[in-house]
Amino acid sequence: MEKIEQLVEKAQELLGGNADVIAASPGRVNLIGEHIDYCDGFVMPFALDRYIVIAALKNGTNQAKFSSVGMPDVTIPLGQALECDEPKWGNYLRGVIHGFFQRGLVPPGFDACLVSSVPGGAGLSSSAALECAVATLLEGLCGVTLEKKAKALLCQKAEHDFAHVPCGIMDQFASTFGEKDKLVMIDCRTGEPTMVPFENPNLTVIIANTRVHHELSDGGYALRRKHTEDALAIIGKSSWRDVTMADVEAVWETMGSPVNLRARHVVGEISRTQDAAKALAAGDFETLGRLMYESHLSLKDDFAVSCRELDIMVEIAKEIGQEGGVIGARMTGGGFGGSTVTLCESHRAQEIIETMAQEYEKRCGITAEIFSSRPSLGAHLVKIGNNGGWSWDPK
């Protein structure tokens, strides 16, 4: 895996010169609290040490030109309202540039090269990493610093309006607010993040990309979101945070399946995430692990966003179990494929990664991508020093 320093060098090399501005933004993994960021719930992600890095050089025109390895180039006119277009990946760029334009911010024309160590479409939010990297690049080019929350919301709107994925606020908040050794615990009702220390060297988070990819934009995600809205309307409350399991049971038949199952997931997951935060603070890892397994079952059976490969990956972790150093495991991200997150004891992590890889290959015939990551710095500008080296400018 390439470190961010190597990504920065590669982006500069592809650009063919010393960049005027370089921006980086990470993917994320969510420990617990899934599919409830759009239901006023709590979520507990952190920024991965995997980044999308974009290097840009002013080109004296009024166009932005983006290239990304293996993707068609994208040219975007600056200083005017934008609409969706081809190629598709350009819509994340158009959405963010459009958001800046709506705020009266128009950058000078530039050529940009993008490199990434965030696996795409793997439930690790390469889309938010891309949006937040572009937003940070534009901040650098326009000479402004947006308030972090405003920046994350601008990026979320880009994903809604230009990529047509009605995502919640988790991904862009994690990519924007991420800090070293901190979880970004978000109260999605108030839209306020709280940084929770995650420094225990005995804990390691393993991310396992099943390499099974189902499109989030094909309607499955949007349909889940609609089910939760329908359920809340029948329950008759204005926020999921005010809904109890008894409220759900009282209208179980009226809601009917699968809406009632979706409702049970939302209420259960909100309370599991609150309990997980308490367990983490108390160092009660047994409870934390149990909550992660319960979260996975709920996503599988009630929310129906898991798949065979995710279930198998979680099952393998569970089989390794406490004796083998595994604390808990679950699918992470939007689902329908993608990745699992496994919390484990650090001194067993390497052994666990190897067993998971071997067993997964044996049972699914697929070579998974499995790695560990610590919570890392969120979106930031990387400035070029006078000596041609680079230095951080974390906001």
Active-site residues, by number, are 171
Pick between residue 65 and residue 88 the one whose CB is nearest to ligand ADP: 88
Which entry of Mg ion, ligand ADP, none binds 130, CB below 5 to 8 A by partner kind?
ligand ADP
DSSP character string of 145-187:
---HHHHHHHHHHHHHHHH-----SHHHHHHHH--TTEEEEEE
Instruction: Tell me how far, at minimum, the Cβ of 251 lies from ligand ADP, in Å.
Output: 33
- In sequence order, the 6+-apart residues with CB closer than 8 A to the CB of 111 are 15, 56, 57, 59, 65
C-alpha–C-alpha distance, residues 392 and 2, integer Å: 17
Using CB under 6 A as the binding rule, whether residue 210 contacts ligand ADP is answered as no
Using CB under 6 A as the binding rule, whether residue 340 contacts ligand ADP is answered as no
First to last CA, the chain: 25
- CA-nearest of 383, 380, 379 to 20 is 383
Residue 270: enclosing H or E segment and its boundaries? Answer: helix 259-282
C-alpha–C-alpha distance, residues 152 and 149, integer Å: 5
Instruction: Tell me how far, at minimum, the Cβ of 337 lies from ligand ADP, in Å.
Output: 9
Q: Which residue is nearest to Mg ion (CB)?
A: 127
Instruction: Tell me how far, at minimum, the Cβ of 220 lies from ligand ADP, in Å.
Output: 12
| CA 74 centroid distance within chain | 24
Q: Which of 88, 180, 214, 348 binds ligand ADP (CB under 6 A)?
A: 88
Using CB under 6 A as the binding rule, whether residue 176 contacts ligand ADP is answered as no
Q: Which of 36, 47, 78, 122 binds ligand ADP (CB under 6 A)?
A: 122
Pick between residue 25 and residue 68 the one whose CB is nearest to ligand ADP: 68
C-alpha–C-alpha distance, residues 72 and 169, integer Å: 29
Pick between residue 30 and residue 355 the one whose CB is nearest to ligand ADP: 30
Q: Which of 12, 25, 30, 68 binds ligand ADP (CB under 6 A)?
A: 68
- Residues at the contact surface with ligand ADP, assessed by CB under 6 A: 52, 68, 71, 88-89, 92, 114, 116, 120-127, 130, 216, 333
